[in-house]
Amino acid sequence: MFKKITLISSVLIALAGCQTAPTSLYAWGNYESALFASFHEPEVREAELAKYLTFMQSPPKYEQKFGPGLYAEAGTFMLQQGNIEQAILFYELEANAWPASLPLMHTLVLNLKARHNIKPTTNNQGESKDE
* CA 55/CA 32 separation, integer angstroms: 13
Q: At 39, is the pLDDT very low, low, confident or very high (cuts 50, 70, 90)?
A: confident
Q: At 127, is the pLDDT very low, low, confident or very high (cuts 50, 70, 90)?
A: low
pLDDT digits (tens, 9 = 90+) for 54-97: 999 898 888 889 999 999 999 999 999 999 999 999 999 999 99
Entry pTM: 0.74
Residue 129: what pLDDT? 64
Q: At 37, is the pLDDT very low, low, confident or very high (cuts 50, 70, 90)?
A: confident
- Helices assigned H by DSSP within 18-66: 31-40, 45-56
* CA 84/CA 108 separation, integer angstroms: 11
For residue 38, give the 3-state DSSP assignment.
Answer: helix
